[in-house]
Chains A and B, each alone.
Chain A
Amino acid sequence: MPTWGTVTMRSSDTQRLLTSKAAPLSDFSLILRRLHVDGPLFLGLLLICGFGLFVLYSAVGESNRLLTNQVIRLGVAFIAMLIVAQLPPDFMRRWTPWGYLIGLVLLVLVLIKGDVGQGARRWLDIGIRFQPSEAMKLAVPMMAAWYLHDRQIPPKLGQLVTIAVMIIVPTLLIAKQPDLGTALLIAASGVIVIVLAGMSFKLFIGLGIAAIPGALVLWNFMQDYQKQRVLTLLNPDSDPLGAGYNIIQSKIAIGSGGLFGKGWTNGSQAQLEFLPERDTDFIFAVLGEEFGLLGVLTLVVLYMFVIGRGLYISVQAQDTFSRLLAGSISLTFMVYVFVNTAMVTGLVPVVGVPLPLVSFGGTSMVTLMAGFGILMSIHSNRKLLPH
């Protein structure tokens, strides 16, 4: 039984605690372990969120109300993480197909009778308002990992097709809302599972080439504003006051920040409202302007630490499901970070992906932290194995 293993581990810790000189620290780590919390990961997340709040305070125009708002959301997200961390991986695995199916049903419901917000149908109101697409961010990689759990990896072609269907169906449903950014990220989280499961790179590249017609289909799915964003990336100066405005102002903000930045709450681009969406998608530019290269590198290093810790947890995981899920969650987080920072610095199109744990907003943060809860659960529920 998995619980038996953890109990053993805990008792060994207790013994170490009794003999250790650094008693208070070990006491603390004992509490963390009892709560199924991974210390390094928790610390990394805490630092990112703390730094993020600092930047956000400036980005929301020093509004205490909005800052409190965000602190509450972070609190909720951390609680969600803690709750998820208590669920054993086997439990999560068993319930994965049901969760996935319910998610699909909800996605269909959203398309039928969802609430419209900002020109897209994303919200569902069943007692509480929420976005089913958020749940799918975790449900899709879990489903892929569940499917591969009992099978020999690398997966065979037929199995790949099955997984591909599992990924594509929710992706298309979400793209139809339309929420292209989320759809792509969810597809990515599923694909990451397959790649981690050892799918041949030849096949991957071959599929990539074969996906070009698919991309053309996707292009037709896109709204005009989304097409415009892609086109704008290619030449932002072509429409400096229209679609290219965001990228131009964001580059000016970051570039003018220089090495050390203009100082907290002193970024003229951000404070004088030249920078659009400064507290959400473009908050990274605020950081770049006010804290300079030093500030952005600090955040990037913190992100890398969290990603690295996540990958370490995935390597340490003891079954296929845990391994693939942990790897996918960590790498999807990396994709988030990369897409947002690359978008803000003008490397990829503006797709509307927030900077994880820093951007203002709640729903995605809960999902994100729930994912880290899964990582913690996986890590804290390892069975002791002889080395």
Chain B
Amino acid sequence: MAALLSPIKDVLSERRLFLSRVIIAAVISIVLLGIVVARLVQLQVIDHELFAEKSQGNRVRIEPVPPIRGLVFDRKGRVLAENLPAYQLELIPEQVDDIDDTLNRLAAINLIEVEDIPRFKELSRSGPRFKPVTLKFRLTEEEIANFAIQRPRFHGIDFQPRLVRHYPNGAEVAHAVGYVGALSTADLQRLDPAAYAGTSHTGKTGVESAFESDLHGDAGYRHLITNARGRQVPSDTSDLLNSLPADASSEPGANVYLSIDLDLQRIAYEAFDGRRGALVALDPWTGEILALVSAPAFDPNLFAVGMTTSQYRELQDDPDRPLFNRASRGAYPPGSTIKPMLALAAIETGATNLTRKNLCRGYFQLPGDEHRYRDWKPEGHGPVDLHDAIEQSCDVYFYEVSRDIGIDAMHDYLDRFGLGTKTGIDTGGEHAGLVPSREWKKNNFRNRDDQRWYHGETVIASIGQGYMLATPLQLASAVGALATRGQRFRPHIVAAVEDGLTAERRIVQPERLPDVEISNDIYWEYVLGAMHDVMQGSRGTARAVGLGAPYEMAGKSGTAQVVSIAQDQKYDEAELEERQRDHALFIAFAPFDNPRIAVALIVENGESGSGVAAPIAKSIMDAYLGYGDDAQ
């Protein structure tokens, strides 16, 4: 068939047709490639600037340079928080062939804990493959030496030097200074992400947290050439590094000087000797806190360095709650320590006068009520006036006058001393305590019967029991107000902030709070005199402590019930769990004539305010006034 058709082919017209088609095709080709060329001109000439900028933005990454955290000093310039170089163990995910195997082998030589392995696996999966995961924040020299030998067996594991926060005094100042910990997701929501881009740790509690903005400093930044996966390109590809914008160095954080005296802090912490409790000492004329101790405490370095899961669980589950700051967050029944303040309320409201004597028979009964409100001294104190009632801590006297003062006036006077409201301490993190009133009860109970205020509750409140709660910090502030005869200053722990670069100091000025107004100075003398006799009087509850002291002091003991004791049941310590024993409280100031230090403390389940708590208060005052063991 092909052979038949071929002769009749018109070769010439076919060539002409083909030529015309090729010409058309050539034109179309030129047009198509012309479009591409036009596009290239558009991209490379017209929009060149735009794309050049985008290309630059692609490859240049701004890496933050974290600032060096400011230091924390005590009032005498001793370091409480510093930054030390430490070696940390890191894992670079992309360099490790078998993560499970590597982690298991690290656990086998005790560099990490088995139960942390899942966490590290998750961390090495979640981030960029080239970004190191920290396995251990601080290696001991022994661990470094040990690992150095085995290093060839661990591809992708290495130790790197980093600055790590260090607290040389450990637990002694833990609750005052606070600690830094690794930035959490919650922290990152609260903080400026730009300023914290290069920072690994932030203040979690205490001064570290409250003065975070001063301590942190300003982050700098530097420009890096990175590839599409964000990995820094080694500097030897020098041509790519041209025309980078200038870097900015970081500015160190401010140094913070505390009013805390490390010596007092140490003495107080040691005085608790493993018992649970808290102590706050302050300068009554400025509000400067000289010591703030909560015992037992913990080693804050654990947080800065990073804990293993088991270490953290141990701290969390410790029944003594070492992480709990009892000094500002612990709310306790203040017990008899409020008696001096209530005495002023009683005089001012006319519920009693300076000379009236009542007979104390060891118990008190409300009219028409069989219930006996007992005195701590079962046989009674006999005839006592207000002075004696403070000196000997007679409960019955206060039971009796409480009816005439009334709960609302009691609330009013205690409120003037700052009880029941937060002191506003600069480190924050405090409990407001509680001073009950009719209104409070109405607002805080749902049941109609519970909303009523009962006379019996007023009686209980007069000895700092019942609903009433106060923190050691509040009590310290209140005893400070007694010492100054009514002048009050907001308690604060930071005395000065020093610029990290210029060393310029900003001194924190005392903040005066509204005075406690008492109509006649004689009343102050009367009540403070009674407090003086608590320590130095012939029948003072804490005369054993005040005896033979080289200076005069004033104080008031308190013993607060943890559980209420049923009627007519003999108080038997042996039967009570140790943790149900009474709390021992004490407030004091010294010297009596020229007060320079005010102290409040509690020893949980310490049973006797005058016997257990008062000696600790005295040891602090001794040290501060220069009569301590170390004093010359």
> Do A and B make up one complex?
yes
What is the interface of chain A, defined by CB distance below 8 A to chain B? 149-154, 192, 195-198, 249, 251-259, 263, 266, 268-269, 271-274, 288-289, 292-293, 296-297, 300, 303-304, 307-308, 311, 314-315, 320, 323-324, 327, 331, 334, 337-338, 341-342, 345-347
Cα(A258)–Cα(B43), bound, Å: 8
Q: Are A273 and B44 in contact (CB under 8 A)?
A: no
Choose among B32, B47, B55, B240 the residue with the greatest number of A CB atoms under 10 Å from its CB: B55
Q: Are A331 and B25 in contact (CB under 8 A)?
A: yes
Choose among B14, B47, B229 the residue with the greatest number of A CB atoms under 10 Å from its CB: B14
Q: Are B29 and A252 in contact (CB under 8 A)?
A: no
Asked, given contacts A255-B43, A347-B36, whether A268 binds B17 with beta carbons under 8 Å apart, the answer is no
Asked, given contacts A258-B52, A300-B37, whether A274 binds B58 with beta carbons under 8 Å apart, the answer is yes
Q: List 16 A-B contacts (CB under 8 A).
A: A154-B17, A197-B21, A255-B55, A256-B56, A271-B240, A272-B233, A288-B44, A293-B45, A300-B37, A303-B33, A338-B32, A342-B39, A345-B36, A346-B39, A347-B35, A347-B36
Asked, given contacts A151-B5, A255-B52, A269-B55, whether A296 binds B225 with beta carbons under 8 Å apart, the answer is no
Task: Judge whether B359 is part of the interface by a CB distance below 8 angstroms.
Answer: no
Q: Are B58 and A254 in contact (CB under 8 A)?
A: no
Q: Are B55 and A308 in contact (CB under 8 A)?
A: no
Cα(A196)–Cα(B25), bound, Å: 8
What is the interface of chain B, defined by CB distance below 8 A to chain A? 1-3, 5-6, 8-10, 14, 17-19, 21-22, 25-26, 29-30, 32-33, 35-37, 39-41, 43-45, 47-48, 50-52, 54-56, 58-59, 225-229, 233, 237, 239-240
Q: Are B35 and A150 in contact (CB under 8 A)?
A: no
Q: Within the complex, what minimum Cβ distance (angstroms) separates B53 from chain A? A: 8
- Report chain B residues within 8 Å CB of A256: 48, 51-52, 54-56
Q: Which residue of B lies closest to A304 (CB)?
A: B33
Q: Which of B6, B41, B240 contacts A272 (CB 8 A)?
A: B240
Q: Are A268 and B55 in contact (CB under 8 A)?
A: yes
Q: Which residue of A lies closest to B227 (CB)?
A: A272
Q: Which of A153, A272, A341 contacts B228 (CB 8 A)?
A: A272
Cα(A274)–Cα(B33), bound, Å: 26
Q: Are B54 and A300 in contact (CB under 8 A)?
A: no
Asked, given contacts A268-B58, A315-B18, A347-B35, whether A255 binds B29 with beta carbons under 8 Å apart, the answer is no
Q: Are B40 and A297 in contact (CB under 8 A)?
A: yes
Cα(A315)–Cα(B37), bound, Å: 26
Cα(A133)–Cα(B623), bound, Å: 95
- Report chain A residues within 8 Å CB of B25: 192, 195-196, 311, 327, 331
Q: Are B43 and A251 in contact (CB under 8 A)?
A: yes
Instruction: Please list the 3 inter-chain residue pairs (A to B) with the smallest Cβ-Cβ separation, ordered nearest first.
Output: A255-B51, A256-B55, A150-B2
Q: Which residue of B lies closest to A320 (CB)?
A: B14
Task: Please give 15 more A-B residue pairs, beta carbons under 8 A apart, in addition to A323-B18, A338-B29.
Answer: A149-B2, A150-B5, A150-B6, A252-B54, A256-B48, A256-B51, A289-B55, A293-B40, A296-B44, A311-B25, A314-B22, A315-B18, A320-B9, A338-B32, A342-B36
Q: Which residue of A lies closest to B5 (CB)?
A: A150
Question: Dominant SS at the B interface?
Answer: helix
Cα(A286)–Cα(B248), bound, Å: 33
Asked, given contacts A266-B239, A272-B227, whether A334 binds B33 with beta carbons under 8 Å apart, the answer is yes
Q: Are B237 and A271 in contact (CB under 8 A)?
A: yes
Cα(A342)–Cα(B39), bound, Å: 8
Cα(A257)–Cα(B55), bound, Å: 9
- Report chain A residues within 8 Å CB of B22: 196, 311, 314-315, 327
Q: Within the complex, what minimum Cβ distance (angstroms) separates A354 from chain B? A: 16
Asked, given contacts A152-B8, A269-B58, whether A345 binds B43 with beta carbons under 8 Å apart, the answer is yes
Cα(A307)–Cα(B28), bound, Å: 12
- Report chain B residues within 8 Å CB of A274: 58-59, 227-228
Q: Within the complex, what minimum Cβ distance (angstroms) separates B260 from chain A? A: 52
Cα(A59)–Cα(B226), bound, Å: 17
Cα(A387)–Cα(B456), bound, Å: 134
Asked, given contacts A268-B58, A272-B233, A274-B58, whether A255 binds B33 with beta carbons under 8 Å apart, the answer is no
- Report chain B residues within 8 Å CB of A258: 44-45, 48, 52
Q: Which of B32, B37, B50, B229 contacts A297 (CB 8 A)?
A: B37
Q: Are B14 and A293 in contact (CB under 8 A)?
A: no
Q: Which residue of B lies closest to A341 (CB)?
A: B36
Cα(A293)–Cα(B237), bound, Å: 24
Q: Within the complex, what minimum Cβ distance (angstroms) separates A387 from chain B? A: 13
- Report chain A residues within 8 Å CB of B1: 150
Q: Which residue of B lies closest to A265 (CB)?
A: B239
Asked, given contacts A338-B33, A341-B36, whether A255 binds B58 with beta carbons under 8 Å apart, the answer is no
- Report chain A residues within 8 Å CB of B6: 150
- Report chain A residues within 8 Å CB of B21: 195-198, 327
Q: Are B40 and A153 in contact (CB under 8 A)?
A: no
- Report chain B residues within 8 Å CB of A346: 39
- Report chain A residues within 8 Å CB of B226: 272
